[in-house]
Amino acid sequence: MGNAFFVVWRESLEAFLIAGILFAWLQANDSSGRGKRALVAGLAAGVGLALALGWALVGVQDELTGDALEAFQVGMLLVAAALIAQMVLWMRKHGRQIKARLHADLSQAAQRTGFLGVAVVAALAVAREGAETVIFLYGLSQEGRIADLFIGTISGFFGAALTAWVATRGLRRLSISLLLRVSSILLLVLASALLVTATDRMIGTGWIPALVDPLWDTSLLIDDGSEAGKLFANFSGYRARPALSVLLAWLAYWAVVLVGWRRTSHG
């Protein structure tokens, strides 16, 4: 539940902030109110596109069985991990330019196609966040109970709405930029956990060798089979008895992330 809450909170907060930026631009540049109605329609369309992706993923899964289903689920875990890392690094490099880019896109859209263009910009902006959220949640669904995932999703959405509302009230103590930086690091940790889960499943199906299994045993310190240990393992990717292949995949992931992090610091 905690992982779902965190992912949905982070992605929904970005969507709320984007909607706020678009609304602020229309507030200053559209006195007719038609642009705001187009914005609402675009936001709804973006949510609809994300839900359509979720329906498609479930539909594909229902058609698969055996190794094909396992391959699809492992593939989605890997895609979710890669998307999280890519999204965090992209936001780190371009985050400061998002507001200017959205304003520029809105200006061009309004000039070329009127308020239909405004709706399209809003739909694409929100659909991107929503599609990422759907893929992340599908990956997380391979690790936990659906009921916990649902509760985490709903609470994450309303938590993001509350955070965005508090931010718009001008409370100086709440630093959105700090929240996004901290959450970016936590998202990278969560992505590594998804990668570890995918690697474990590929070892279990015999698709890749374990090499050495187990490499060590730290269950006396933190047992990933216990309730608390499992929660920690689901979020961080910790394994009390990891195979060498899992460790190598984890190290390769963080090597790539650290290189990307250093490069985006100059972007």
H-type helices in 30-145, by residue range? 34-62, 66-94, 98-113, 115-141
* Residue 198's pLDDT band (cuts 50, 70, 90): very high
Quick one: tokens of 237? Answer: 């990717």
Distances (CA, A) of 123 to 46, 52, 131: 4, 13, 11
Domain boundaries, the chain: 2-264
The pLDDT of 197-216, averaged and rounded, is 94
> Residue 91: is its pLDDT beyond 90?
no
Q: What is the mean pLDDT of the chain?
A: 80
Query: Could you count the other beta carbons within 10 Å of the beta carbon of residue 155?
Result: 16
% of the chain beyond a pLDDT of 70: 82
* Model confidence pLDDT, tens digit, residues 34-70: 777 888 888 888 888 888 888 888 788 888 888 898 8
User: Mapped to the 3 state alphabet, what secondary structure does 18-54 carry?
Assistant: HHHHHHHHHHHHCCCCHHHHHHHHHHHHHHHHHHHHH
